[in-house]
Chain A
């Protein structure tokens, strides 16, 4: 780890933080509140065309021919595009490029893109789609992952090394799992399953492309990964990347659903090049459900052994992961499904065998808590079952298995700071656990669960030794500092975070910081908003860049005042002479002195992770410079007559290291928790037996309204991390995980039924209640 990557955890000017940890406004809050903020679909360009996508009505078919002649002849149609014009495949993971912008040979799910039309308006483009004639040879569709596992025919993807429908298989063992069976006081073995859920950001995907007169092309896109889109565009369009500019405007929610390159980005770019006009494509809400990349459904088998005192001795997992039609992040998902379970509890022996298969469904990908929410659900329910059988309090069994801080997991992940024990204390206190758990009237119950998550990992999706995050700072003579960052603010507040850190480091007010983000022409590369990496990585890069500037400013003022550098302190935009308290100047004057001494002022900052991870194939996937920890307690009401579960209260305690802005951290904890709760009782990305989406709308796919959301209480735990920016870790994804098992465990406390298969519908509840009654 380079020195530039570690900046200490203390306030840079001594005497406490001035910006960090305070309830500051966001840099873009008022712009969003007043309608001034520009999202991709708000961009209107002169002469702009509107494009629409023709999608497959078949789950699996060979595309024999696409005849667009009638569509082209329609008045108002300016450009038509078919797969043959964009034959190069792509995929966010460079090892598995299996997507085409438009189908070249086959369609692999209902909704797969086949052709596109650009016209003078949306109505004309839609009309033209009806005139495109596609000849399909319908193939058998594989919708069940169990079938995909054992059926190589028909292969959903042809021409791979593997001649089957397996997307990725990972089998890793640490220690000796089977040897624990004989010794164990208790062995618990059960099946669990997690259904399909999707991100449902309120902003649908949108992209606008403009051909520039200098031969370049500009793409605005609602993406979380500007840099990867830039690379993918260059590859597919066969253009020099220096001729492509990618900009992410204000983004209306992502949650992982905008972290793949999507077909519309290639299509609008190619249509813009072809027609010489700006082209926009806005996906209808229905299309967002086909784009999906949502949480992978998983069928999970867990066997845990433990001693009488609750100490876990081994965990054995076998997982079948439904990948849907394409690879997406699937290679990583398959690893994450096993690699991220090895905390906050100590697993002395651990094995997982995960298989991701292709099916003819909308592709699955990374949804908030990528790959690890599903195993976390299964394991935390199993741990609760063990606690019950051993008559140990569910919080207590979690304490007994705590892995500790400054340690290593069985699979070689380095754990540094770890505030999990305090998280448990907080939810125990907040829920009044001791007085209420197990003592509530029948139908009411409390449950608990814990989890951990990464703050980014040391595995960039394409191998390179360049920084994972970079920033550039520029100082204006007005006193304004502009920070350029490739980081993607997707609503989580990363631009604000950058402003706070630079303001803190330079001793100026956040109102004197302007952040320019996610524009490949202007900003240094950051890998994007995924894996909860932005605060940790971009944050450290921002401190690195600001600290270099600070050195110049201090040196210039010290020389001017003829004092030692340590006597110069910047605070809230004022420079103070500590040796002679009466003397001060504004930060603007200090900037001028520094510019006189060092010429035009600017700096760069960067971050790279240290060497991390286990020394085995895949050992770096899931290896994070810091892990966040969470505990949830949930209170439910189960109506034994209707089978309906109402989640009443959820208390969430999350260890995010130093909370750089507690309001924003709270928002992440509450938002994650509410999203997790909805996956248990409301949301289901369901397909019918033909592979057709059961209800691709925000009416049928039920995300909670204000009347459905449970009462939430978030508590922030700050285990200051030695390597995080001023000690910060992630807060955006971790706090989703344990919501789900906490609710499952609360249902057990309420009515004595173990629900192991999501979602928890009234029918499942009633069935389980009946079985329980029969047993008794």
Chain B
């Protein structure tokens, strides 16, 4: 979990989202619909964007889970300063209005940039299509992903 090995006991029908939010206090992953429609609960499971609300917690066993809380510490552990570049770019571009969808959105963007460091607008749209945002109309989110890809930081 965000680089740590942790053991958690939870009822067998609990989802990963329930374990994150209720057992571990990792409330950065949001519950917007609890049925896989909105993407606000997106986490990375071995680097792959995954809906925590549709994943039984047990499926996370022996997997590397990254939640939104894990990005800043990982960035610092890599010797980075300030915020994680994707998080920073989302802030600079105005991509965060209410911010509720953004933990999931940012993790989807992280996964995209990990495999495609210079994505086109179309590729960005495709990769973020599982994350609903009701505030922005998406344009400033695309700009944030492009800015993060350029790796410019203030």
Q: CB-nearest residue of chain B relative to A677? A: B137
Q: Within the complex, what minimum Cβ distance (angstroms) separates A493 from chain B? A: 7
Is B46 positioned at the interface, with any CB of A under 8 Å from its CB?
A: no
Most central of B33, B84, B98, B128 by chain A CB within 10 Å:
B98
Known: A33-B90, A491-B98. A697 touches B33 (CB 8 A): yes
Whether the pair A285, B100 counts as a contact (CB closer than 8 A) is: no
- Expressed in whole angstroms, the Cα–Cα distance for A711 and B122 within the complex equals 11
Whether the pair B94, A28 counts as a contact (CB closer than 8 A) is: no
Whether the pair B91, A30 counts as a contact (CB closer than 8 A) is: yes
Counting contact residues on chain B (CB < 8 A from A), the size range is: 35 or more
Interface string of A726-768 (1 = CB under 8 A from B): 0000000000000000000000000000000000000000000
Known: A37-B99, A493-B97, A670-B137. A706 touches B128 (CB 8 A): yes
Whether the pair B35, A285 counts as a contact (CB closer than 8 A) is: yes
Chain A residue contacts of B128, Cβ below 8 A: 705-706
Is B15 positioned at the interface, with any CB of A under 8 Å from its CB?
A: no
Chain B residue contacts of A493, Cβ below 8 A: 97
Whether the pair B125, A202 counts as a contact (CB closer than 8 A) is: no
Q: Within the complex, what minimum Cβ distance (angstroms) separates B96 from chain A? A: 5
Is A553 positioned at the interface, with any CB of B under 8 Å from its CB?
A: no
Interface string of B75-113 (1 = CB under 8 A from A): 000000001100110111110111111110010000000
Most central of B25, B31, B34, B126 by chain A CB within 10 Å:
B31
Is A38 positioned at the interface, with any CB of B under 8 Å from its CB?
A: yes
Chain B residue contacts of A36, Cβ below 8 A: 28
Whether the pair B100, A33 counts as a contact (CB closer than 8 A) is: no
Q: Within the complex, what minimum Cβ distance (angstroms) separates A430 from chain B? A: 14
Whether the pair A698, B97 counts as a contact (CB closer than 8 A) is: no
Is A2 positioned at the interface, with any CB of B under 8 Å from its CB?
A: no
Chain B residue contacts of A21, Cβ below 8 A: none
Q: Contacting A202 at CB < 8 Å: which of B27, B32, B67, B88? A: B32
Whether the pair A202, B126 counts as a contact (CB closer than 8 A) is: no
Whether the pair A252, B99 counts as a contact (CB closer than 8 A) is: yes
Is B134 positioned at the interface, with any CB of A under 8 Å from its CB?
A: yes
Chain A residue contacts of B134, Cβ below 8 A: 199-202, 253, 255, 671, 675, 703
Stretch at the interface among A39-47, A259-267, A336-344: A39-47
Stretch at the interface among A93-101, A542-550, A660-668: A660-668
Q: Contacting A666 at CB < 8 Å: which of B33, B67, B87, B140? A: B140
Q: CB-nearest residue of chain A relative to B11? A: A123
Chain B residue contacts of A699, Cβ below 8 A: 35, 37
Chain B residue contacts of A284, Cβ below 8 A: 34
Chain B residue contacts of A706, Cβ below 8 A: 124-126, 128-129, 131, 138, 141-142
Chain B residue contacts of A285, Cβ below 8 A: 32-35, 37-38
Chain B residue contacts of A23, Cβ below 8 A: 92
- Expressed in whole angstroms, the Cα–Cα distance for A667 and B95 within the complex equals 8
Chain B residue contacts of A671, Cβ below 8 A: 97, 134-137
Is A707 positioned at the interface, with any CB of B under 8 Å from its CB?
A: yes
Is A389 positioned at the interface, with any CB of B under 8 Å from its CB?
A: no
Interface string of A22-63 (1 = CB under 8 A from B): 010110111011111111011010000000000000000000
Chain A residue contacts of B133, Cβ below 8 A: 202
Whether the pair B35, A253 counts as a contact (CB closer than 8 A) is: no
Q: Within the complex, what minimum Cβ distance (angstroms) separates A46 from chain B? A: 13
Chain A residue contacts of B106, Cβ below 8 A: 33
Interface of A: prevailing SS? loop
- Expressed in whole angstroms, the Cα–Cα distance for A36 and B106 within the complex equals 14
Chain A residue contacts of B72, Cβ below 8 A: 34
Is A712 positioned at the interface, with any CB of B under 8 Å from its CB?
A: yes
Q: CB-nearest residue of chain A relative to B82? A: A30
Chain B residue contacts of A490, Cβ below 8 A: 98
- Expressed in whole angstroms, the Cα–Cα distance for A225 and B132 within the complex equals 25
Q: Contacting B83 at CB < 8 Å: which of A34, A251, A697, A705? A: A34
Is B61 positioned at the interface, with any CB of A under 8 Å from its CB?
A: no
Whether the pair A707, B30 counts as a contact (CB closer than 8 A) is: no
Q: Within the complex, what minimum Cβ distance (angstroms) separates B92 from chain A? A: 7
Whether the pair A491, B99 counts as a contact (CB closer than 8 A) is: yes
Is B57 positioned at the interface, with any CB of A under 8 Å from its CB?
A: no
Whether the pair B90, A203 counts as a contact (CB closer than 8 A) is: no
Chain A residue contacts of B21, Cβ below 8 A: 42
Q: Which of chain A's residues 459-493 have a Cβ closer than 8 Å to chain B? A: 490-493
Whether the pair B138, A663 counts as a contact (CB closer than 8 A) is: no
Known: A201-B98, A492-B97. A34 touches B30 (CB 8 A): no
Per CB-CB distance, the 6 closest pairs between chain A and chain B, nearest first, are A35-B28, A491-B98, A32-B99, A252-B100, A674-B137, A29-B91
**What are 17 sample pairs from A and B whose C-beta atoms fall under 8 A apart?**
A28-B96, A35-B29, A35-B103, A202-B38, A202-B100, A203-B32, A251-B98, A284-B34, A285-B34, A663-B93, A664-B94, A666-B140, A667-B94, A667-B97, A698-B33, A706-B124, A712-B137
A: residues with CB less than 8 A from B are 23, 25-26, 28-30, 32-39, 41-42, 44, 199-204, 250-255, 282, 284-285, 490-493, 663-664, 666-667, 670-671, 673-675, 697-699, 703, 705-707, 709, 711-712
B: residues with CB less than 8 A from A are 21-22, 25-35, 37-38, 40, 67-69, 71-72, 83-84, 87-88, 90-94, 96-103, 106, 124-126, 128-142
